[in-house]
Structure 1
Amino acid sequence: MGLKAAMSKPFAAIVARKIDKWKYNAVKTQKIVLKELLQQAQDTAFGRDHNFSTIRSYNDFKKNVPIRDYEALRPYIDRVVAGESNILWPGKPLYLAKTSGTTSGVKYIPLTKESMPEHINAARDALLSYIHETGNTAFVNGKMIFLQGSPEMKERNGIKIGRLSGIVAHYIPSYLQKNRLPSYETNCIDDWETKVEAIVEETLQEDMRLISGIPPWVQMYFERLSARANGKKIKDIFRNFSLFVHGGVNFQPYSARIEEMIGKKIDDIETYPSSEGFIAYQDSQQEKGMLLLCKAGIFFEFVPVNEIFSKNPTRLGLNEVELDVNYAVILNTNAGLWGYNLGDTIKFVSLNPFRIIVSGRIKHYISAFGEHVIGEEVEYALLSVANQEGVEISEFTVAPQVNPGAGQLPYHEWFVEFGKAPLNLEHFRRKVDQALQHKNTYYFDLIEGKVLQPLIIRSMKKDAFINYMRSLGKLGGQNKLPRLANDRSIADHIQHYISD
């Protein structure tokens, strides 16, 4: 055992004890977080506009601070971007994380000297929690790779601007820098395909033990590696590869394909980072879900999904949530986001401690006929049948077809790229449709009532979605393909990628 591996175990034990103090007292911790946030921001422009100095309880807070999305908060954010101080949080932010919004175009999310350490500590603690629980430290002494955006940044009005993953790259602890790949020069390559080829070149002969990134882009990296190594499995290229860290999208649709490419099952850690804050990470290999980070400069609120677009939605604190209910996540942070609708939906799978799974995006659903099919249901239907049938899914997206050909009923159109295709696509299609009917009673009623016909699956060419994302200039980085759309904006643009 190397020195770093030996030192990591007692350090992990110390951090685990600190985590235990708040994770089993999360409701009390959240009350303290809210109080501290309000005190620190009461003299900001937002704090004065929303009477922070008079707020004494969560109920007071809800009366004074409405729920907002990015566009509604934008008048304040624009002032921050323009260089004004004390707008959403004291002083100026250290960084603005540049991210692409589905409706807002480019978004600029503030990162402050108070919030930035929370991102770093959460990533560190996810690894330390794994070490503490499993005792596995082998990855610490080998090479690690973090597939991420460019660390290069621009500056505007005294604030540095970049992608979150690139900003975080500047905070990798010095004791990990020698282990870390790719090189700074490779990380700065903008074109994703050129970057992946350079990463393959740098890592092919290295002792890679930990690999981290968004699953679809890790999958692409693995495919390029295997091709360069004459079809070898990843386990035979990196014989000591033992830990996969992933986040950004639900891993389940990619897990079978990635495991097949690796050639064996290895431990993995799911994380839930966002530019707005590090929300949760998987703290146990034995328990379902990710630990909600209740002492990370974020006060969480939760709104039942069916109320999120209501004029006065129910807003719940942590002490009021229930298991297995879909909630929209609302953030109040030490980066100055207040009543901020993150756009994600989650479910609690444990209330002691509070663990969650991500169930989808608020705007990613299909309800062309009132069926309100959500991402969680679509993924369940496809993946449960794929597992039964020995089918591997590389990528997929789903859209409604409300204007079918003459004599046809409308339907849900599924565009699926298979890693391993079903022997009988028609049989597979019927089973997926039955699984979705079982999961969503509204969809079942529409099929039974002959309002919709059963779903149709279009088998896609290899790399169809990579080529589609390339055509948009959104290949790699933190860009993700939406799994569901309530319109044809994606579906109509990928028709020529359908297999003959």
Structure 2
Amino acid sequence: MLNFLKKKTALIWAKKHVRKSADFKENAENYQEKLLLSLIYTAQKTLFGRAHDFENIHTIKDFQEKVPVADYEDLKPYIEKVKRGQRNILWTETPEYFAKTSGTTSGSKYIPISKEGMPFQVAGAQSALFHYIAKKGNADFVNGKMIFLQGSPELEEVFGIKTGRLSGIVAHHIPKYLQKNRLPSWETNMMEDWEAKVDKIVQETEKENMTLISGIPPWLIMYFEKLIEKNGKKIKQLFPNLQLIVTGGVNYEPYREKMEELLGGKVDIVQTFPASEGFFAFQDDYTKEGLLLLTNHGIFYEFIPLEQFGKADAQRLTLKEIELHKDYALILTTNSGLWAYSIGDVVRFIDKKPHRILVSGRTKHFTSAFGEHVIAFEVEEAMKAAVEKFPAQITEFHLAPQVNPQEGLPYHEWFIEFEKEPDNLEGFKNELDDQLRKRNTYYDDLISGNILQKLKITRLSRNAFQEYAKSQGKLGGQNKIPRLANDRKTADLLEIYKI
């Protein structure tokens, strides 16, 4: 009886939530302008607001003229003041949290999360589940165990501001109605050694009634493989009531076939788009492609056409001005004090009513050593098409340019870890090359003009990417290996795993 009431209550809440969401989906463009002006008004007296004349900003155009696009390095002087405990710098109060992320040129980044911003991090995930329940028409998973593969919830303090990985911060805000059924244990979640942590998670979950599992695809795969190795059963045999996987952080599609093989049965997938800077989007219809952009969650969005990104005169477009099926660099202004902030993600709109996006890549993750500017979405779609024609299972891959080969023309080198190789590797290689040429005319021109030769595949040993991540201190949590690069830094390190 209790289980029935939990399911019934969840379904009622979900349907009510989806009905309330209809307004922001329909009026997103108007809400966005009101949101920006509200954020500007709130932050008028901050150090950043005074430096950028917030008092005289009355329109989006005013904002774009007075507040340039910024990256972390641009905002770092302000963030350093916040870290020293100074108030009224980027936002009216000191942040409730710093989400600590690994940077490159900046070292560790400290992304502020305000008291106003934190609830939206949790609300985004809740909304994803409510939309799923309403669309599915049942909430069976609420009566089973749920696991969230995440970083340690242990937080340090930086001048009184609690600091840690985003997933660890969110662990402190999981609603009480989910806490009782949540795994792994708090002690296991605190473990820093990712391999030992996954082994412990396997112990704690293998005999449980798991119904919902959440995490980024590479670490879900690692967890599933350990379960299968220990028990000799596919995941759906171990967890017959597993209904839902919630994932995010990277494009799920390149992992789909491998995941389906490990699962060994039907499980619904809901994709999300969270980051330390905010929870941006989720798959509101698990049966369709695309993520619903959350335009009422304290974030004002701008979009720079990818071909203009980094240029001084780049257009900064709003929701009213975007076009479908074009790639845009995502720019954020948030209620945690990030102003015209370039997060580094590239998105592509596939619908406007409501606004649905695909995450098509990263502004810093591309291959353009020869002027082709190939992006992640193109290589992932090319790989997907090649696998469909020449069946194979891909664990992970990385694309890098080979500018100075020992002989012959330059080429793209694909480092691929196969779970199962195609029967015809040469045919697979040619199909992969053809599919990329279809998606990128510049690459096609370079091949046709004999500037480049066709791509080459370098096969990597089993667990190569896990071993690489471990060697770089990037195993587990929200760490992701870039699918492509414009240099050979990652490629050179992967060379030791080739077979």
Verify same fold: TM over 0.5.
yes
1:115 aligns to what? 117
1:218, distance to aligned residue in structure 2 (A): 0.4
2:304 aligns to what? 303
Task: Tell me the number of residue pairs that the alignment of Structure 1 and Structure 2 aligns.
Answer: 497
Letter in 1 for 2:428: F
- Give the distance between the partners of 1:415 and 1:60, measured in 2 at CA: 47
Aligned with 1:88 (options 61, 67, 90): 90
1:431 aligns to what? 431
Indicate the SS of the match to 2:484: coil
1:290 aligns to what? 291
1:409 aligns to what? 409
- Give the distance between the partners of 1:480 and 1:136, measured in 2 at CA: 33
**More displaced, 322-331 or 440-449?**
440-449
1:285, distance to aligned residue in structure 2 (A): 2.3
Percent identical among aligned pairs is 54
Q: Is 1:13–2:28 an aligned residue pair? A: no
Q: Is 1:390–2:391 an aligned residue pair? A: yes
Indicate the SS of the match to 2:489: coil
1:192-341 pair list within 5 angstroms: 192-230=194-232, 232-341=233-342
- Give the distance between the partners of 1:109 and 1:263, measured in 2 at CA: 39
Indicate the SS of the match to 1:358: strand
Indicate the SS of the match to 1:170: helix
1:262, distance to aligned residue in structure 2 (A): 0.2
Deviations 1:371-423 (A, max 9, x none): 111111111111111122221111000100001013x1111000001121111
TM-score scaled to structure 2, two decimals? 0.98
Indicate the SS of the match to 1:226: helix
1:8, distance to aligned residue in structure 2 (A): 0.6
1:96-245 pair list within 5 angstroms: 96-230=98-232, 232-245=233-246
- Give the distance between the partners of 1:431 and 1:178, measured in 2 at CA: 49
- Give the distance between the partners of 2:449 and 2:30, measured in 1 at CA: 50
**8 A contact 2:248–2:274 mirrored in 1:** yes
1:3, distance to aligned residue in structure 2 (A): 2.3
1:362, distance to aligned residue in structure 2 (A): 0.5
1:288, distance to aligned residue in structure 2 (A): 2.2
1:28, distance to aligned residue in structure 2 (A): 1.1
1:420 aligns to what? 420
Indicate the SS of the match to 2:395: strand
- Give the distance between the partners of 1:416 and 1:25, measured in 2 at CA: 44
**8 A contact 2:390–2:427 mirrored in 1:** no
1:434, distance to aligned residue in structure 2 (A): 1.0
Unaligned regions of 5+ residues in structure 1, if any? none
1:287, distance to aligned residue in structure 2 (A): 3.2
Letter in 2 for 1:478: Q
1:363, distance to aligned residue in structure 2 (A): 0.8
- Give the distance between the partners of 2:364 and 2:197, measured in 1 at CA: 31
Q: Is 1:362–2:394 an aligned residue pair? A: no
**8 A contact 2:236–2:242 mirrored in 1:** yes
- Give the distance between the partners of 1:57 and 1:286, measured in 2 at CA: 38
Q: Is 1:22–2:17 an aligned residue pair? A: no
- Give the distance between the partners of 2:117 and 2:219, measured in 1 at CA: 27
- Give the distance between the partners of 2:15 and 2:243, measured in 1 at CA: 21
Q: Is 1:35–2:22 an aligned residue pair? A: no
- Give the distance between the partners of 1:129 and 1:377, measured in 2 at CA: 29
1:489 aligns to what? 489
- Give the distance between the partners of 2:456 and 2:264, measured in 1 at CA: 32
Unaligned regions of 5+ residues in structure 2, if any? none
Indicate the SS of the match to 2:304: strand
TM-score scaled to structure 1, two decimals? 0.98
- Give the distance between the partners of 1:91 and 1:438, measured in 2 at CA: 51
Deviations 1:207-236 (A, max 9, x none): 000000000000000000001102x10000
Indicate the SS of the match to 2:389: helix
Letter in 1 for 2:344: G
Letter in 1 for 2:306: V
- Give the distance between the partners of 1:286 and 1:235, measured in 2 at CA: 20
Letter in 2 for 1:110: P
1:102, distance to aligned residue in structure 2 (A): 3.4
Deviations 1:329-368 (A, max 9, x none): 0000000000100100000010010000000000111111
1:2, distance to aligned residue in structure 2 (A): 2.8
**8 A contact 2:367–2:374 mirrored in 1:** yes
- Give the distance between the partners of 1:312 and 1:136, measured in 2 at CA: 50
- Give the distance between the partners of 1:267 and 1:236, measured in 2 at CA: 16
